Structure 1
Amino acid sequence: MKEYLVFVPRGFMVMWNLLTRLPRLGDSYPTTDSPGVLALGPLVGLVMGLMVGTVGLVAFQGLPGLLTGALCGSAYSLLGWSLHLDGFADLWDGLGSGRRGDAMREVMKDSRSGAFGVMGMVLGLLAWCSACGDLRGVHLPLGLALAGALGRFSLLACAFLGRYPWVSGLGGVFVGRLKGPHLALGALWCAPFAIVLPWPLLLGLLGLSGLLGALMAIWMNQRMGGVNGDVLGACEVLGEIGVLAILAKFI
């Protein structure tokens, strides 16, 4: 129990420093000795989404829906979501190249975005902003908080089932090095939403988010030989888009 009480706040600080551009919480960052801290990613995502949604509720309500979504997306990106958006664009470039294995990974490692990456970024942001703009009132911070948590749960599931055969890269800290309890802890942060959402909807969203991460890992293990940081980021973005789209329809 004592180790758990130490692990959670330390893991939160590590993931906060990695995933946000807000003031640092100490000097802790992920290392090869602490892959399990990724289980705190959904909690960090929940906090980030709640912050953006609260700002949106106060400052952007009353504006046209798509504009509200665009402003929320801009604030979210400045907070740190751009880290995942970069991976999303890189995956589009890799898939658009038609290559496989290490050749595909080399395309994704290029810091420049090609036509497929730009197109993917535009379409992804449009989908996210449109779904976000359909959430009104208190549903906006609620929806963004849950999307932030479940998007990073998709990432966690992808890292759980993924392989990392390469020597270097941040993904090697997490991918293929997680255990079942880490998944359970990542899912636990969604439990408070059962107070305000029907539990079948919440469980369905959790299951779909985990399934997305699992399918992405299986696909990339076969196509590229493993899962890298860009794949994790892309999985997170897709997870958020799916959650927001479903919430916009059912709440």
Structure 2
Amino acid sequence: MIKAFLSALSFLTRIPAPSSQLSSKDWQKSVIFYPLVGLLIGMIIALGSVLLVEVFPLTITAFFLLVLWIWITGGLHLDGWMDLADGLGSNRSREIMLEIMKDSRVGAMGVIAAILLMIGKGMAIYELLSMNLTFLFIFSPLFARLVLICSIKAFPYKKEGGLGEGLQRYLTIPVIVLNLAFVLAITFFLLSFHGLILFILSVIVSTIFVLYVFKKLGMLTGDCYGAIIEWSECVSLFLAIAIWRLF
């Protein structure tokens, strides 16, 4: 289990972790710990916001946090977001969309999608900073990776030899339930009922996105997994702002 966690950490982040002796089995098991790694990412972002806001104005702090967010994940999920945007934005047949997504080059739709995502995330980060709600940065990566493992479990992965192949094997129902309980416990403990509202709405909106992608492609690929994380993170940031403004 320790090797599986280190595998998840080395794959999903740039945090140094010994990975030379990790096997393919450790990689497949690592998906169990994706929400835990998401929590760690969120804590780093929240801590960074506390430190940076003491030195810089909110606009500069928001920019640095966005850069930190991209850096700590190595831009891995952003790449998937752009590839999916290129595929879906082509408005072609399912087979051609999948071929476009495999192309290493980035098209116009991918660039546009990346710009819009970064603007949206940056504005949301700034608003949460201005509302003195920096602790909410913890939950966006956490929720996103819970949505991801549920998507991996619920929808088929049909791309032979792809990055996500084999991840479903260790995502049993008890593992999913344990991760769900883990996320709900942290959310309720830190945010009470407001946190539960944020969690439920985030999951609903993210699930709608996953269903749309699956309807278009008939499967989920590694690029889809990255896009799910980016979408879910951005959605939860927006919803956090709306919920705290309303309540």
The TM-score normalised by the length of structure 1 is 0.85
Q: How high is the sequence identity, in percent, across the aligned residues?
A: 26
Q: Look up the match of 1:4.
A: none
Superposed displacement of residue 104, structure 1: 0.8
The 2-side partners of 1:32 and 1:206 are apart by: 31
Unpaired runs of 5+ residues, structure 1, are 1-6
- Counterpart in 2 of 1:139? 133
**Number of aligned residue pairs:** 242
Deviates more, 1:218-227 or 1:28-37: 28-37
Distance 1:120 1:175 in 2: 28
Which residue in the other structure is 2:187 paired with? 193
1:194 partner SS? helix
Specify the alignment match of 2:158 in structure 1: 165
Which structure 2 segments of 5+ residues have no match?
none
The offset of 1:179, in angstroms, is 2.7
Cα distance in 2, alignment partners of residues 38 and 196 from structure 1 = 25
Q: Is the 8 A contact 2:206 2:231 kept in 1?
A: no
What's the counterpart of residue 24 of structure 2?
31
Query: Residue 72 of structure 1 aligns to which amino acid in structure 2?
Result: L
* Equivalent residue number for residue 3 of structure 1: none
Give the whole-Å Cα distance in 2 for the aligned partners of 1:101 and 1:177.
Answer: 29
For 1:234-249, what aligned pairs fall within 5 Å after superposition? 234-249=227-242
Partner Cα distance (2:6, 2:68) in 1: 21
Structure 2 residue aligned with 1:231: 224
Residues 154, 212 of structure 1: 8 Å contact kept: no
Residue 105 (structure 1) aligned with residue 104 (structure 2): no
Distance 2:112 2:34 in 1: 27
Q: CA deviation at 1:65?
A: 3.9
Aligned counterpart in structure 1 of residue 119 of structure 2, from 126, 129, 146:
126
Question: Cα offset for 1:33?
Answer: 7.3
Deviations, residues 104-157 of structure 1 (Å, cap 9, x unaligned)? 1111111111110000001011111111111238631x2221111011112112
Describe the shift of the 1:237–1:123 C-alpha distance in structure 2 as closer, same or farther (beyond 3 A).
same
Identify which range, 237-246 or 218-227, moves more after superposition: 218-227
Instruction: Check the 8 A contact 1:158/1:216 in 2, yes or no.
Output: no
- The CA RMSD measured in Å over matched residues stands at 2.5
Q: TM-score, normalised by structure 2?
A: 0.86
Please give the residue correspondences for 1:51-66 in structure 2 after superposition, counting only pairs within 5 Å: 51-61=44-54, 63-66=56-59
Going from structure 1 to structure 2, the CA distance change for 1:33 and 1:58 (only over 3 Å counts) comes to closer
> In the aligned structure 1, how far is the partner of 2:40 from the partner of 2:242?
23
Question: Using the alignment, how far apart are the partners of 1:28 and 1:103 within structure 2?
Answer: 38
| Residue 115 of structure 1 pairs with residue 119 of structure 2 | no
Give the direction of change, closer, same or farther, for the CA distance of 1:29–1:152 in structure 2 (3 Å limit).
farther
User: CA, structure 1 residues 158+28, in 2 after alignment: closer, same or farther (shift >3 Å)?
Assistant: farther
- Cα distance in 2 for partners of 1:228, 1:177 equals 18
- 8 Å contact from structure 1 (residues 162, 218) kept in 2: no
Of stretches 180-189 and 96-105 in structure 1, the one that deviates more from structure 2 is 180-189
Name the CA distance, whole Å, in 2 between partners of 1:207 and 1:36. 27
- 184-193 vs 211-220, greater mean Cα deviation: 211-220
Q: From the superposition, tell whether residues 138 and 64 of structure 1 become closer, same or farther in structure 2 (CA, over 3 Å).
A: closer
Q: CA deviation at 1:102?
A: 2.5
Q: Which deviations, in whole Å up to 9, do the C-alpha atoms of 1:11-34 show, x marking residues without a partner?
A: 321210110112124436573676
| CA spacing shift, 1:224–1:183, aligned 2, 3 Å | same
